[in-house]
């Protein structure tokens, strides 16, 4: 995403709509980087799309075979996880990407 000299150049009053496909670790980091580019929240609207309603840390899910509540320990609904971004400009949509139109 660049260094500290990275700057957004959006026309006054126009917001760019960004869609991030996948809400896992990469989607989270990309959202944080985009927020850093627009600290005043005036230029970007970010939507995270994921086919699941929750983020799960898959590496530990084998434990769910032994513990009934393991899935709850290692997953979080995306509607709750986006609260981490502390912004009204970050939204979550559950769905499957089937087509991209510019």
Q: What is the pLDDT of residue 29?
A: 92
Contact 90, 31 (CB under 8 A): yes
The domains of the chain, with CATH numbers, are 16-94 (3.50.50.60)
- Greatest alpha-carbon span in the chain: 56
Higher pLDDT, 2 or 25: 25
Q: What is the pLDDT of residue 56?
A: 72
pLDDT one-digit tens code per residue, 34-55 = 999 999 888 999 999 999 888 8
Asked if residue 26 has pLDDT above 50, the reply is yes
Return all residues near 15 (Cβ < 8 A) that are at least 6 apart.
42, 43, 44, 45
Nearest to 31 by CA among 95, 83, 66: 83
Q: Mean pLDDT over all residues of the chain?
A: 81
> What is this structure's pTM?
0.71
| Three-class DSSP category at 42 | coil
Asked if residue 1 has pLDDT above 60, the reply is no
């Amino acid at each position: 995403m660049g260094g500290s000299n990275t700057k957004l150049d959006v026309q006054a009053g126009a917001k760019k709509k960004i869609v991030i496909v996948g809400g896992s670790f990469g989607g989270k980091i990309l959202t944080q980087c985009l927020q850093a580019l627009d600290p005043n929240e005036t230029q970007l609207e970010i939507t995270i799309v994921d086919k699941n309603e929750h983020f799960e840390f898959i590496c530990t899910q084998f434990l769910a075979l032994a513990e009934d509540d393991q899935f709850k320990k290692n997953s979080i609904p995306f509607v709750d996880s986006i609260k981490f971004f502390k912004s009204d400009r970050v939204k979550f949509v559950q769905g499957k990407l089937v087509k991209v139109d510019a």
